[in-house]
Amino acid sequence: MSKSKPFQGAATVRSQSEDNTQIADQAVASKIAGEIRKSDGLEEDVVVFVSTNEEAQRYDVNLGDAIINGTWDTRQRHLVWRVPSNLIDRFSRHFFVTSGRIVRGG
């Protein structure tokens, strides 16, 4: 019996799809972050992070001794976290950020 080789193009297609999703997520996050920054008049040392999914429920991000409250964007679809400069590194290492569920918007 001869073994058939798996289709080699599948990984490439998946990779391109993931790249397109990541670009779209980042574009949405940047747009939402810009809206939040403009409406709130945020200081330069605050970074806005945005959920890539439309969320059904609000949740906070627990960093151990600090909790960053998630709030709704202006359309109440995505969650937004306003992260002060002293917590940006820790927030960036959270599982939701490293897995892509939350992205840095600006």
Q: Mean pLDDT per segment of 10 residues, for the chain of length 106 residues?
A: 50 43 65 72 80 92 95 89 94 94 85
Q: Residue 79 domain-assigned?
A: yes
Q: Residue 28 domain-assigned?
A: yes
Query: For position 60, what pLDDT does the model report?
Result: 97
Query: For position 86, what pLDDT does the model report?
Result: 94
Determine the structural domain holding residue 76 and report its residue range.
Answer: 12-104
Q: Residue 1 domain-assigned?
A: no
DSSP character at residue 69: P
Q: Are 68 and 94 in contact (CB under 8 A)?
A: no
Query: For position 3, what pLDDT does the model report?
Result: 59
Q: Residue 61 domain-assigned?
A: yes
3-class DSSP state of 67 = strand
Separation CA 74–CA 49 (nearest Å):
14
DSSP character at residue 63: -
Query: For position 15, what pLDDT does the model report?
Result: 44
Q: Residue 91 domain-assigned?
A: yes
Report the domain count for the chain.
1
| Tally of CA atoms within 13 A in the half-sphere of 5 that contains its CB | 4
The single-letter code of the amino acid at 96 is F
Q: Residue 35 domain-assigned?
A: yes
Query: For position 52, what pLDDT does the model report?
Result: 87
Q: Residue 81 domain-assigned?
A: yes
